[in-house]
Amino acid sequence: MDQKLILITLLIRLGVVAAIASAVVRSRYFKSVLFRNEIRSTRQQIDIVLFVGIPVALGVWVRAVVPNFKAADVAFESAIIVGVMGGRLAGVALAALCAVPEFWRHEYLAFPLNAIAGYVAGAFREYAANREEIWSFSPMVDLSIYRWIRRNFPRPRQDWQVAFFVGILLLQLLREQVGRAFPNRVFFLYGDNFWIEAAIYVGTIATVAIPIKVWNATRIELKLQEQEKLLLQARL
């Protein structure tokens, strides 16, 4: 694949995930399920999978039938997103939903890799001491590393965001190594030089982080509206 085309593909993928995240968050029911603080039921986790997974699966199908339109496939990153937002079951379920077009393309290793990614992301969700750490995950790699150094240099401690950041990189590395070992059995992007490879890994981080940022902006807006209502009631 042409190296310039890879960079264009990475940019389009950011737009794809932003569009999906912006579209699904317009639903009141999706917001009520996604933003609830209590433990979600199995039904609610499946609802999150359906809201996000259906457009993602359609993107996988488009990539399978349209030559050279690889930007439509964000199944791997979406499994991580749904896993960290909905839990391990949700992450694996989204991988299963996207598996049909992948099997049609004989990409038999795509489902297990996506399922692993979703499960690991769900485990990171349970590992988080505070749900706000998940919502504040940022695609700004340099700022995340700087924050980690500033927090841990004087007093070493665990940092969920840096751990999740490294976990995404390791999952992408696993995906790439499996793809190189078993050609045409899993979809992945790869570059011929260091900078293109670095762009792919950074693109994976950004593709995961952007939907979280979109949803978090809506969550903050709803919180501000609730606070305004409470303030108005207090004045009355």
Global confidence as pTM: 0.90
Q: Could you read off the pLDDT tens digit of each residue along the chain, which spans 236 residues?
A: 677 889 999 999 999 999 999 999 999 999 999 998 777 888 999 999 999 999 999 999 999 898 788 999 999 999 999 999 999 999 999 999 999 888 988 899 999 999 999 999 999 999 988 888 899 898 775 555 556 566 655 554 568 888 999 999 999 999 999 999 999 899 999 888 899 999 999 999 999 999 999 999 999 998 888 888 888 777 76
Distance CA 69, CA 18 (A): 17
Q: Is 129 helix (H, G, I), strand (E, B) or coil?
A: coil
Neighbours of 181 (CB within 10 A): 10
Q: Which contiguous run of DSSP H or E holds residue 158?
A: none
- Torsions phi, psi for 188 (to 5 deg): -160, 155
CA–CA–CA angle 112, 106, 71 (5° rounding): 80
Q: What is the pLDDT of residue 40?
A: 84
Q: Distance of alpha carbon 150 from its chain centroid, rounded?
A: 26
Q: What is the pLDDT of residue 148?
A: 55
Of 152, 35, 126, 51, residue with least CA distance to 94: 51
Domain coverage including residue 81: 3-235
Look at the chain and report how many structural domains it folds into: 1
All residues at 6 or more sequence positions from 188 whose CB lies less than 8 Å from its CB, including other chains: 76, 175, 176, 179
DSSP letter (8 states) at residue 154? T
- Torsions phi, psi for 38 (to 5 deg): -75, 170
Q: What is the pLDDT of residue 150?
A: 64
The residue written with tokens 């439509």 in the block is 72
Distance CA 172, CA 211 (A): 18
Q: What is the pLDDT of residue 76?
A: 97
Q: What is the pLDDT of residue 83?
A: 96
